[in-house]
Structure 1
Amino acid sequence: MRSARTLARAVCATAILGTTVALGTGPVSAAPAATTASCAYPYVCIQRISDGVIIGRFQDVTSGYQDLPSRPSNVTIINTRHDDVAYIRYANGSKSCVAPNDSLAISGYVLTGIRISSSATCS
């Protein structure tokens, strides 16, 4: 299980940095740079508002915030989890909460971190 988490974190980190990771052993075809991806359960995703591209996927419940090295803005946070909330931290220090099975559009603010909590409600 530990290696799966490490792999998932590596994939998320590279997705946030805007690079592509090929997983598996089959042939890999190049996808168009601006493809709209979906956010599947059990992820919390960061999606650019301008073109619908998913730039980050997070799955692990954590006790602290995971830093976002790309510091995105003008994005939608999509929480596909059924029982967990996602907290978003902004550069100005404020925070927002995205309830399970909900989304939040963020314009004009820079994000610096994300934390998935096992709480079922925002507090």
Structure 2
Amino acid sequence: MTLAMAGGVSVAAQTAASASTSAPAPVRAAADTCSYPYVCLFKNGTRIGQFQDVTSGFQNLPSRPSGPNLVVQNTRNDDVAYIRWSGGTVTCIPPKQSFTVSGGTLTGIRIDSRSTC
């Protein structure tokens, strides 16, 4: 398991200018993306985790991320990714696909060498 706590989903850089004479607000840099061969989790545009290893069982997500504004991105070419919900339901994410979590809590992730769900 590889877990990273930095980066984020690709978003346009944002700028804000101050209407007063004070200095303009800082520019938010374009966020990192999820590169091959990872499955990444993004919350509000910030990467909160990334996983690389094919496993026979689920890897627990101690942070228990939840929607809205949660995206799971599978950059792998031939491997599916499964996410496990707090109620035990499992969702499969095909290779090179993303899944947006609009509600609910994730408790685990598993990368499988199958190429289809």
TM-score by length of 1: 0.71
| Contiguous gaps of at least 5 residues in structure 2 | 7-28
Residues 1:35 and 1:113: Cα distance change in structure 2 (over 3 Å): farther
Q: Is structure 2 residue 84 aligned with structure 1 residue 85?
A: no
The answer on 1:59 being equivalent to 2:59 is: no
CA–CA distance in structure 1, aligned partners of residues 98 and 92 of structure 2: 10
Determine the structure 2 residue equivalent to 1:43: 38
TM-score of the superposed pair, with normalisation by structure 2: 0.74
In the alignment, what sits opposite 2:94? 99
Counting matched residue pairs gives 95
CA–CA distance in structure 2, aligned partners of residues 59 and 35 of structure 1: 24
Alpha-carbon distance between aligned partners in 2 of 1:100 and 1:66, rounded to the nearest angstrom:
19
Q: Percent identity?
A: 53
Alpha-carbon deviation of 1:71?
0.1
Matched to 2:64, the amino acid is: R
Q: When you count helix as a share of all residues, which structure comes out higher? A: 1
2:110 matched to 1:121? no
CA contact (8 A) 1:77 1:105 kept: yes
Aligned to 2:21: none
